[in-house]
């Protein structure tokens, strides 16, 4: 249990600094579960200067000054999020569900690497009707960096875990919804942004995504379909096109999409452009309109990483083509 001694106000989350809450007896303090999965927030540099996860969840909590909370550290994973598989993401989602089911838990914080934060947080939202706050957070700079940002992000997340229910991100002094989330910067503390503002669809997709294979195929000017065909040959159950502009490709990609759809593999068109609504407008043999004619489904908002998660969840739950189209609309 965390100590209840009153810390200096500068160590409280930003939202608490102008009005530190009155502390109460330890038995009445809210209990927050903190799930550790690795990531930069847990990383330190070795003798060669390479950063990798080295701190446990409890060690990260111990770096904080006393908080007006009880804290339960859960040591789940110690991985860079760039290496997370669907099975790993599912394990995180399952751990969140277990803590949500505990009546003693007021809220949940997930410490996670930033490379896949947008993916795992969306999976948790899709799989659970979060009746409690579920807050993802992490860091851009390792714990031994002169610019270390993990502790303040964690403190902010702990505060947010006592607010309204739902899955959100607390990072860089901001709180963001996870629908449409993407990593917008690689070298600044305020790392995340939204592709656009829209209400997340009401979806119930509880089935496990472990064992699914959904590949992202990058499109560049003049691209052929060799990578798309290779994914199909490797057994991909779904394809996400990281297309150009508002969702455009090439005639060769359109032909590859037709082959995929004919074989029963859904193709979702997203974009390498980070923000804005995507529409199947252009023709010319390889435009978004032509991709739609070949059977591809445009993702109106979600960018490739989150589109991959949504498609995997839909496939795991046996969604029909019409249900897939509606989910991405």
The whole-angstrom separation of Cα 317 and Cα 37 is: 26
Quick one: which of 295, 238, 306, 237 has its CA closest to 271?
306
Tell me if 291 sits within 8 A of 257, measured CB to CB. Answer: yes
DSSP for residue 248: B
Residues 6+ apart with CB under 8 A from 90: 123, 208, 209, 210
Cβ atoms of 168 and 136 within 8 Å: the answer is yes
Q: Is 115 annotated as a binding residue?
A: yes
Asked if residue 32 lies in contact with residue 105, where contact means CB atoms within 8 angstroms, the answer is yes
Residue 174 β-bridge partners: 171
Tokens of 107: 């809220």
State yes or no: is 40 an active-site residue.
yes
Quickly tell me which residue has 């809220």 as its tokens: 107
Q: Find the helix or strand (DSSP H, E) in which 182 lies.
A: strand 181-183
- The token pair at 59 is 């060690």
User: 114: annotated binding-site residue?
Assistant: yes
Structure tokens at 49: 């200067």
Sign (positive or negative) of CA dihedral 89, 91, 92, 96: positive
Active-site annotation holder among 24, 37, 40, 262: 40
Residues 145, 147, 151: CA angle, nearest 5 degrees: 85
Enumerate the known binding-site residues for substrate.
Answer: 81, 114-115
Which active-site residues does the annotation give?
40
């Amino acid at each position: 249990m965390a100590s209840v001694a009153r810390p200096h106000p500068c160590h409280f989350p930003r939202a608490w600094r102008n009005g530190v809450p009155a502390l109460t007896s330890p038995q009445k303090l809210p209990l927050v579960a903190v799930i550790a999965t690795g990531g930069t927030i847990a990383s330190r540099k070795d003798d060669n200067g390479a950063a990798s996860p080295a701190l446990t969840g409890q060690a990260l909590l111990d770096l904080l000054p006393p908080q007006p909370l009880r804290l339960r550290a859960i040591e789940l994973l110690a991985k860079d999020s760039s290496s997370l598989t669907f099975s790993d993401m599912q394990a995180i989602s399952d751990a969140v569900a277990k803590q949500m089911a505990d009546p003693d838990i007021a809220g949940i914080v997930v410490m996670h690497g930033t490379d896949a934060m947008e993916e795992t947080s969306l999976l948790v939202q899709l799989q659970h009707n979060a009746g409690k706050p579920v807050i993802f957070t992490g860091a851009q700079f390792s714990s031994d960096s002169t610019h270390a940002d993990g502790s303040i992000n964690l403190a902010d997340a702990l505060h947010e875990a006592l607010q309204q229910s739902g899955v959100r991100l607390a990072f860089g002094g901001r709180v963001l919804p996870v629908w449409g989330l993407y990593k917008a910067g690689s070298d600044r503390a305020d790392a995340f942004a939204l592709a656009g503002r829209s209400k997340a669809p009401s979806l119930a997709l509880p089935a496990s995504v472990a064992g699914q294979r959904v590949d992202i195929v990058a499109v560049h000017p003049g691209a052929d379909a060799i990578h798309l065909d290779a994914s199909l040959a490797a057994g991909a159950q779904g394809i996400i096109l990281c297309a150009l502009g508002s969702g455009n490709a090439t005639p060769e990609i359109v032909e590859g999409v037709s082959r995929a759809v004919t074989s029963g593999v859904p193709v979702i068109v997203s974009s390498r452009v980070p923000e804005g609504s995507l529409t199947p407008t252009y023709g010319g043999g390889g435009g978004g309109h032509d991709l739609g004619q070949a059977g591809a489904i445009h993702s109106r908002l979600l960018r490739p990483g989150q589109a991959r998660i949504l498609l995997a969840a839909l496939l795991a739950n046996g969604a029909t083509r019409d249900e897939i189209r509606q989910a991405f609309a």
